């Protein structure tokens, strides 16, 4: 081993030197490489057009989604008489179903009769004829001892189903 000026030890074994010498002696001398010219463009008839492939995604199924989904295989046939729920924003008295309210008082006036109902917390509300109540109900008539609510629902087949709910006024002592 020999120490160089940079402080690096170098090892020169006779075998290493022989390999280096054989490598450099067998290598051909550097020569200038031949320059290749670009190929001439292909001649295309003016009548013939070159078609390029273009993949469109729209209208095609996703190739990575399974053909049969578990929901499709276990689905039961649709019943045409099943009532379809509409997606509407509920507000006011539509937030309460008639079964959640208790009829407390009825006031018969010359113009329009009024009814007072309470929710389960004891908060009172005024009902007039024609007011919307629940998801599908309308106060159809206010009688001296009861309030009638008509509910209209629509089936899958488009048929309208009507039902009438009567809220009766409890007399004192009745529960």
d(CA 140, CA 142): 7
The residues spanned by each domain of the chain are 83-168
pLDDT, tens only, 100-135:
999 999 998 888 899 999 998 999 999 999 999 988
* Average pLDDT over all residues of the chain: 79
d(CA 135, CA 124): 19
The answer to whether the beta carbons of residues 129 and 139 sit under 8 Å apart is yes
Q: Output the pLDDT for position 93.
A: 86
Reply yes or no on whether the pLDDT at 165 is more than 90.
Answer: yes
49 — pLDDT class (breaks 50, 70, 90) = low
Q: What is the mean pLDDT of residues 56-75?
A: 75
Which span out of 45-49, 61-65, 77-81, 148-152 was modeled with the highest average pLDDT?
148-152
| pTM score, whole prediction | 0.53
Lowest average pLDDT, out of 34-43, 59-68, 147-156, 159-168, goes to: 34-43
Q: What is the mean pLDDT of residues 81-109?
A: 86
Within 49-122, residue ranges assigned H as helices are 70-74
d(CA 144, CA 163): 21
Residue 139: exposure state from Cβ atoms within 10 A (0-12, 13-18, ≥19): buried
Reply yes or no on whether the pLDDT at 3 is more than 60.
Answer: no
Q: Of 127, 171, 118, 124, whose CA–CA distance to 149 is shortest?
A: 127
The DSSP symbol for 20 reads H
Q: How do strand 102-107 and strand 137-142 relate by DSSP bridges? A: unpaired
d(CA 154, CA 162): 9
Residue 102's H or E segment, with its range, is strand 102-107
CATH 2.40.10.10 fits 83-168, yes or no: no
pLDDT, tens only, 4-48:
565 555 666 666 767 767 766 655 555 556 767 777 766 655 566
Lowest average pLDDT, out of 14-28, 81-95, 115-129, 161-175, goes to: 14-28
């Amino acid at each position: 081993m020999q120490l160089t000026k940079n402080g690096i030890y170098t090892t020169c074994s006779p075998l290493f030197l022989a390999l280096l010498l054989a490598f450099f002696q067998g290598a051909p001398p550097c020569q200038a490489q031949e320059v290749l010219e670009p190929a001439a463009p292909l001649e295309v008839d003016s009548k013939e057009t070159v078609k390029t492939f273009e993949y469109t995604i729209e209208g095609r199924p996703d190739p990575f989604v399974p053909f049969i989904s578990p929901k499709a295989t276990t689905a039961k046939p649709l019943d045409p008489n099943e009532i379809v729920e509409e997606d509407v924003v509920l507000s006011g008295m539509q937030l309460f179903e008639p079964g959640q309210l208790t009829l407390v008082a009825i006031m018969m006036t010359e113009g329009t009769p009024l009814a007072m109902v309470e929710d389960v917390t004891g908060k009172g509300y005024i009902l007039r004829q024609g007011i919307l109540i629940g998801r599908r109900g309308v106060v159809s008539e206010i009688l001296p001892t009861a309030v009638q609510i008509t509910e209209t629902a629509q089936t899958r087949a488009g048929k309208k189903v009507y039902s009438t709910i009567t809220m009766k006024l409890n007399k004192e002592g009745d529960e």
